[in-house]
């Protein structure tokens, strides 16, 4: 009897506890809903304080002063909008850029865009400086990096909205967690140009197979329990990422590889548009080719890539180490690997220093040159003088530098994965425009083969390569980008 009474009391207490928890959750949801409504009304008032007929397009690009392919897309998009909605014809259309480059003045940023990418941008741009960029830095999150950066982007986006509320929000860096905030709280039209998914089935496969990579450390790969836990974490993160990403009204992706993964995760194929990133092919294909005998006097192998971990510069150095044992001594003495790139932050600078140390460890310091933040004119000179273009990133989403090398007449050896394999490089006889490789020995063998090829064979590949890159031109990007986002402008004007 006492036991029965005790059990009844326990069940009653448990029911009460459940009801209390549910009531608290309901109260929290009510409070959150009220706060969200207050914020939305506040942001609507901020927008209303501007001229009613004004249309402001804001690009979310916290690293706009970097010199990578993502920044090329940003400035090409800005240039496209300025060209179509020029100030004289459309004085009510304005452009703003959210940036975390606090140490760079607007003039410096625009001058760098012209110097590095050859885009002359009108200075009628408002830069919104964000002080919380550190919250999206991977160094802030030694563990659960993807989740930390994603929630960090929310905090940064909240700062952005509190500072300035646009009509049209375009994310060009892939911060998908910001889309619900700008769409539902900020009341903005939301578009994205996504270079690569934050998480992909390939990343899940790496963890499942316990393969060591830059985002799957050796400690986790060696431990089956940690690998299983990380797999669960990735799958849960993928569900959240799929929901927030699908909040974008217009989704632009840069390659077939990215399109496949984004459609698999976000599940919005009808709103997803594949627009290849802009490459300066018109100028590069017009560059006169140096005589092949001239290039053979000094054999230059060129890489153009930011000093980020995923670019896999160590594989380039290992390939050079292997190349030394394949080619003759006199060939090796006149062979140079030129590494051109930029550094986004202190971690990238440390990484470049590590690469310099690694080249010395491999005794390659006489055959490797590091060039940081070179002006566009010097980059053109390197394009003209170099024989081979080298690319080693696994699952590169696209590969602008590959296209630029091909347009300039270099013979490219790219990683056999991602966008390069799906969209750019063709290796079938008769239509071959480059080579694909995965391991250091394979890279070295192919580079030795190119060095020893007759001029006729090299020129045949160059001709096909130059003809194949017109689909990646600035003009094609501008046309497709404007066509895709035009409904936002039309609806605003209506």
277-317 pLDDT, tens digit per residue, is: 998 888 899 888 888 877 888 999 999 998 888 899 999 99
- Measure the CA angle with vertex 160, ends 151 and 345; round to 5°: 65
The residue extents of the domains of the chain are 1-49, 54-278+476-488, 281-472
Q: Is 190 helix (H, G, I), strand (E, B) or coil?
A: strand
> Among 350, 380, 382, which Cα is nearest to 369's?
382
- For 311, residues 6+ apart whose C-beta sits below 8 A from its C-beta are 305, 341, 392, 393
Q: Is 389 helix (H, G, I), strand (E, B) or coil?
A: strand
Q: Which fold has domain 54-278+476-488?
A: Rossmann fold (3.40.50)
Tokens coding 347: 């971690």
Region 137-150: what's the mean pLDDT?
89
What pLDDT does 2 receive? 61
Tokens coding 309: 């971990």
Q: What does the mean pLDDT of the chain come to?
A: 88
Helix 313-324 to helix 346-361 angle (10° resolution) is: 10
pLDDT at 148 over 70: yes
Region 457-477: what's the mean pLDDT?
93
> Among 320, 318, 284, which Cα is nearest to 301's?
320
pLDDT at 131 over 80: yes
**Cα(83)–Cα(121) distance, rounded to whole angstroms?**
10
Residue 213 DSSP symbol: B
**Cα(303)–Cα(372) distance, rounded to whole angstroms?**
12
- For 66, residues 6+ apart whose C-beta sits below 8 A from its C-beta are 306, 342, 344
List the beta strands (DSSP E) in 48-150: 55-60, 93-99, 125-129
pLDDT at 450 over 60: yes
Query: 58-67, 126-135, 372-381, 409-418 — which is least confidently predicted?
Result: 372-381
What pLDDT does 27 receive? 72
Other CB atoms within 10 A of residue 475 CB? 12
pLDDT at 494 over 60: no
pLDDT at 40 over 70: no
Q: What are phi and psi of 94, to 5 degrees?
A: -130, 155
Q: Which H helix or E strand runs over 421? A: none
Tokens coding 54: 């004004």
Token pair 């080579």 is found at 435
Out of 3.40.50.2000, 3.40.50.12370, 3.90.230.10, 1.10.10.60, select the CATH number for domain 281-472.
3.40.50.2000
Region 410-439: what's the mean pLDDT?
94
**Cα(94)–Cα(57) distance, rounded to whole angstroms?**
6
Q: How confident is the model at residue 33 (pLDDT cuts 50, 70, 90)?
A: low
**Cα(109)–Cα(119) distance, rounded to whole angstroms?**
11
- Contact present, 409 and 462 (Cβ < 8 Å): yes
Other CB atoms within 10 A of residue 361 CB? 11
Helix 224-245 to helix 201-208 angle (10° resolution) is: 170
pLDDT at 14 over 70: no
- Measure the CA angle with vertex 372, ends 145 and 354; round to 5°: 55
pLDDT at 51 over 60: no
List the beta strands (DSSP E) in 239-365: 250-253, 272-274, 299-304, 335-341
388-419 pLDDT, tens digit per residue, is: 999 999 889 898 899 999 999 999 999 999 89
Instruction: Using a pLDDT cut of 90, give the percent of the chain over it.
Output: 63
Cα 94 vs. chain centroid, distance in angstroms?
25
* Most confident option among 216-220, 225-229, 319-323, 344-348: 319-323
Other CB atoms within 10 A of residue 235 CB? 12
Whether 281-472 and 54-278+476-488 are alike in CATH topology: the answer is: yes
Q: What are phi and psi of 379, to 5 degrees?
A: -60, -40
What pLDDT does 41 receive? 67
132 φ/ψ sector (left φ>0, alpha ψ -120 to 50, else beta):
alpha
pTM over the 0.85 mark = no
What pLDDT does 213 receive? 65
Handedness of CA 87, 92, 98, 101 (dihedral sign): positive
Region 354-378: what's the mean pLDDT?
92
Helix 106-117 to helix 376-385 angle (10° resolution) is: 20
206-217 pLDDT, tens digit per residue, is: 776 776 666 666
What pLDDT does 44 receive? 65
What pLDDT does 42 receive? 67
Other CB atoms within 10 A of residue 286 CB? 10
Burial status of residue 309 (CB atoms within 10 A of its CB: 0-12, 13-18, 19 or more): middle
Please report which residue ranges of 267-305 form alpha helices under DSSP H: 281-285, 292-297
List the beta strands (DSSP E) in 313-443: 335-341, 368-372, 388-390, 411-415, 435-437
Q: Is 411 helix (H, G, I), strand (E, B) or coil?
A: strand
- For 301, residues 6+ apart whose C-beta sits below 8 A from its C-beta are 320, 335, 336, 337, 338, 386, 387, 388, 389, 390, 447
pLDDT at 8 over 90: no
pLDDT at 11 over 80: no
What pLDDT does 208 receive? 67
Residue 56 DSSP symbol: E
**Cα(277)–Cα(264) distance, rounded to whole angstroms?**
21
What pLDDT does 457 receive? 92
What pLDDT does 441 receive? 97
74-129 pLDDT, tens digit per residue, is: 999 999 999 999 877 888 899 999 999 999 999 999 999 998 888 999 888 999 99
Instruction: Using a pLDDT cut of 70, give the percent of the chain over it.
Output: 87
Between 31 and 400, the more confident residue is 400
What pLDDT does 282 receive? 86
Between 22 and 359, the more confident residue is 359
């Amino acid at each position: 009897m006492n036991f029965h009474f005790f059990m009844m009391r326990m069940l009653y207490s448990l029911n009460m506890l459940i009801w209390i928890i549910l009531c608290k959750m309901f109260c929290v949801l009510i409070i959150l809903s009220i706060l969200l409504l207050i914020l939305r009304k506040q942001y609507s008032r901020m927008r209303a304080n501007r001229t009613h007929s004004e249309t402001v397009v804001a690009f979310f690009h916290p690293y706009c002063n970097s010199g990578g392919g993502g920044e090329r897309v940003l400035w090409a998009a800005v240039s496209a909008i300025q060209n179509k909605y020029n100030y004289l014809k459309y004085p009510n259309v304005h452009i703003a850029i959210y940036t975390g480059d606090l140490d760079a003045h607007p003039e410096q940023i625009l001058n760098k865009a012209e110097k590095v990418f050859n885009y002359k941008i009108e200075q009628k741009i408002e830069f919104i400086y964000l002080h919380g960029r550190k919250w999206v830095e991977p160094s802030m999150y030694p563990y659960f990096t993807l989740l930390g950066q994603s929630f960090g982007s929310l905090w940064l986006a909240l700062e952005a909205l509190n500072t300035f509320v646009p009509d049209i929000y375009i994310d060009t860096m892939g911060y998908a967690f910001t889309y619900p905030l700008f769409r539902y709280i900020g009341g903005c039209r939301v578009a994205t140009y996504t270079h690569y998914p934050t998480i992909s089935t390939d990343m899940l496969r790496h963890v499942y197979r316990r393969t060591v990579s830059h985002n799957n450390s050796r400690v986790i790969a060696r431990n089956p329990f940690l690998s299983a836990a990380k797999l669960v974490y990735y799958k849960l993160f993928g569900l959240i990422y799929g929901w927030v990403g699908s909040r974008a009204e217009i989704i632009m992706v840069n390659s077939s590889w990215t399109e496949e993964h984004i459609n698999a995760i976000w599940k919005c194929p009808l709103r997803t548009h594949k627009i290849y990133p802009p490459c300066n092919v018109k100028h590069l294909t017009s560059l006169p080719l140096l005589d092949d005998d001239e290039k053979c006097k000094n054999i230059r192998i060129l890489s153009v890539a930011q000093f980020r971990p995923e670019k896999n510069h160590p594989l380039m150095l290992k390939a050079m180490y292997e190349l030394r044992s394949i080619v003759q001594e006199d060939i090796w003495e006149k062979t140079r690997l030129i590494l051109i790139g930029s550094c986004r932050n202190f971690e990238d600078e440390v990484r470049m220093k590590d690469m310099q140390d690694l080249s010395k460890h491999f005794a390659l310091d006489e055959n490797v040159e590091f060039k940081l933040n070179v002006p566009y004119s010097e980059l053109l000179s390197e394009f003209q003088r170099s024989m081979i273009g080298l690319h080693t990133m696994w699952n590169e989403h696209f590969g602008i530098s590959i296209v630029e090398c091909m347009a300039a007449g270099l013979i490219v050896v790219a990683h056999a994965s991602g966008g390069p394999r799906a969209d750019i490089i063709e290796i079938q006889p008769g239509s071959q425009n480059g080579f694909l490789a995965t391991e250091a020995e394979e890279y070295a063998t192919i580079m030795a083969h190119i060095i020893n090829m007759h001029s006729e064979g090299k020129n045949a590949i160059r001709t096909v390569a130059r003809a194949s890159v017109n689909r990646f031109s600035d003009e094609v990007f501008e046309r497709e980008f404007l066509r895709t986002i035009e409904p936002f402008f039309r609806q605003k004007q209506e």
